[in-house]
Amino acid sequence: MTSTTDSMTLYDEPYRPQFHYSPPSGWLNDPNGLVYYEGEYHLFYQYHPHSTVWGPMHWGHAVSPDLIHWETLPIALYPDDLGTMFSGCVVVDADNTSGLVPGGGLVALFSYHTQAQGAAYSTDRGRTWTKYEGNPIIPALRKDFRDPKVLWYAGQWVMVLSAGESVMFLKSPDLLHWEVTGEFNGGYEIGVWEVPDLFPLTIEGVTKWVLIISVNPTAPAGGSGTRYCIGRFDGRTFIDEYPDQLLWFDWGADDYAGTTFYNAPDGRCQFIAWMNNWAYAELIPTSVWRGATTIPRELRLVNTEAGVRLAQFPVDALNQLRVPLGKWEHFTLGETLSLDEQVRDLEVEFELRDAQIFGVELFATKMGGVQLTYDVNAQQLVLHRPSGDIRNFNPAVSAPLVAVDGRIRLRILVDRSSIEVFAHDGLLTMTSQVFPEVDAAHVRLFALDGTVHVLSLCAYQIQNIWRA
């Protein structure tokens, strides 16, 4: 497929993600309008084409057959007389309920920067878009009132959108006329709520509803982050089944404004977030672009002792890019073990012995690299990442992780400027940017003051998606 590389240097700049999407140039924040339609995944995104800092928002656009290889297309939505293009969603209006897409097509619902909501439509597989002439379709009802996400439920369209420190639910027969049905706050007043998502998932034959909310600031790693609730949706509002628990979607510093795909194939639930943090988003040391997306993930529900939880997995298509580097089983790690090749995907299962701290060093050099450690006493997974000159860049991102049967199991994806950890089969994830001094992703396993047993270790290279 065609890639956006028009020279050998584009997509090979320092820190440029090699298997994550980032725009050729300019600024990217939230993914928008995630939709699967006629064999293509669409990724729209908050985009400022003329700068590497946030500015008048457009919707950038990329498409993919598999969620891994992306082709950047021309800008989909430009600012208009009513304002600039904030976040929103795209749905497939197969039955033309809107009257805008005879024969079926795509309808985008987005926020203007004024916090009024607008619509646009496309009848050519998302290649060109027309703004609805009756915009805006919903006025700004609150100071912060934005980021609509729409689903089809029980014969009507349902919208969830952020409204200050809560989310509101609206319903519509035609995507254009909306009526408020409910509001959910859940008692947590932790910063501005942005980019909500609402979707059903089934576990053991029972359907639960998941509400995802991006909050800024007050995330566990500082700055902006994502939380979620599990409960019921009665067609009007959301009822939290665990009202006393604050569940974090990701414990890393850089997983924000993520949403799920509309119409994902085979009933799957597929998700992409912005891999950055408003606390320092404009300061990360990249050029000629700034901002990337997380690895696309599949979401599932899992029963745990504490209740039902979300689990996240990198989409299967990533595995096709894996090049095995080696597999090692059953050995005791005293001090260190080094892997010299470019490891981009690592699966490791440790069994605790007497070392109180052990882990993996990534981007290892004689000067030290980025360390992911497990602290047995504290029951914490900690990512130590050099902060360089970046203000508000948390240098030690941590997450609570209890060993299961004395074991810690991790999958770690390492791109040039990011580390995504999936622990215990995706029950805990930690997504963080890193800006190491070296590009080579050499890896060193280590144990401090004792030993740890390695039950298995698999290392892979991942083929570059821009030069394949």
Q: Catalytic residue positions?
A: 30
DSSP, collapsed to helix, strand or coil, labels residue 367 as coil
The pairs formed by 130-133 with CB atoms below 8 angstroms and a separation of 24 or more are 131/77, 131/80, 132/100, 132/176
Nearer to ligand FRU (CB atom), residue 87 or residue 394: 87
Rounded least distance, CB 61 to ligand FRU, Å? 15
Joined tokens for residue 260 = 């799920």
Query: Considering only residues 22, 72, 97, 111, which one is a binding residue for ligand FRU as defined by CB under 6 A?
Result: 111
Sheet holding 297-304: strands in order across?
A: 256-260, 270-274, 297-304, 307-314
Residue 144, CA distances (Å) to 121, 279, 423 in order: 25, 19, 35
Q: Closer to ligand FRU at the Cβ: 83 or 369?
A: 83
The pattern of x and - marking residues 148 through 187 that bind ligand FRU according to CB under 6 A reads ----------------------------------------
**Residue 290 binds to ligand FRU (criterion: CB under 6 A):** no
Q: Is residue 194 near ligand FRU by the rule CB under 6 A?
A: yes
Q: Which of 20, 146, 171, 424 binds ligand FRU (CB under 6 A)?
A: 146
Torsion sign (Cα): 421, 426, 430, 431: positive
Using rule CB under 6 A, residue 57 touches ligand FRU: yes
> Does 147 engage in binding with ligand FRU (CB under 6 A)?
yes
**Is residue 89 a contact point for ligand FRU (CB under 6 A)?**
no
| 42 touches ligand FRU by CB under 6 A | no
Residues in the chain: 468
Cβ closest to ligand FRU, residue 46 vs residue 373: 46
- Minimal distance, residue 128 CB to ligand FRU, in Å: 23
Burial of 450 (0-12, 13-18, 19+ CB in 10 A): middle
**46/398 with CB nearer ligand FRU:** 46
x-or-dash string of contact with ligand FRU, 202-241, rule CB under 6 A: ----------------------------------------
Residue 250 contacts ligand FRU per CB under 6 A = no
According to CB under 6 A, which one of 18, 22, 46, 117 is a site residue for ligand FRU?
A: 46
* Among 100, 257, 272, 310, contact with ligand FRU (rule: CB under 6 A): 257
Half-sphere exposure of 127 (CA within 13 A, CB side): 4
**Using CA atoms, how far apart are residues 395 and 279, in angstroms rounded to an integer?**
13
Looking at beta carbons only, is 96 or 218 nearer to ligand FRU? 218
Question: Per rule CB under 6 A, is residue 29 in the interface with ligand FRU?
Answer: yes
The encoded tokens of residue 460 equal 């892979």
* C-alpha dihedral sign at 342, 327, 452, 220: positive
The smaller minimum CB distance to ligand FRU, of residues 281 and 401, is found at 281
CB 217 within 8 A of CB 392: no
Residue 189 contacts residue 181 (beta carbons within 8 Å)? no
Examine residue 433 and tell whether it contacts ligand FRU (CB under 6 A). Answer: no
Q: Does 20 bind ligand FRU (CB under 6 A)?
A: no
Which residue type is seen at 260?
T
Task: Tell me the number of residues near ligand FRU by CB under 6 A.
Answer: 12
* Binding of residue 255 to ligand FRU (CB under 6 A): no
Q: Can residue 117 be called a binding residue for ligand FRU (CB under 6 A)?
A: no
From 292, 284, 294, select the one nearest 258 (Cα to Cα).
294
- Cβ neighbours of 338 (radius 10 Å): 11
**∠ CA(42), CA(48), CA(53), 5° rounding?**
125
What residues contact 220, with CB distance under 8 A and at least 6 apart?
248, 251, 399
Tell how strand 452-462 and strand 322-333 pair up.
Answer: antiparallel
> End-to-end alpha-carbon separation of the chain, Å?
9
Nearer to ligand FRU, 194 or 240 (CB): 194
Q: How far is the CB of 87 from ligand FRU (least distance, A)?
A: 3
Report d(CA 396, CA 415) in Å as an integer: 19
Q: Check binding of 195 to ligand FRU (CB under 6 A).
A: yes
Q: Which residues of the chain form contacts with ligand FRU (CB under 6 A)?
A: 29-30, 46, 57, 86-87, 111, 146-147, 194-195, 257
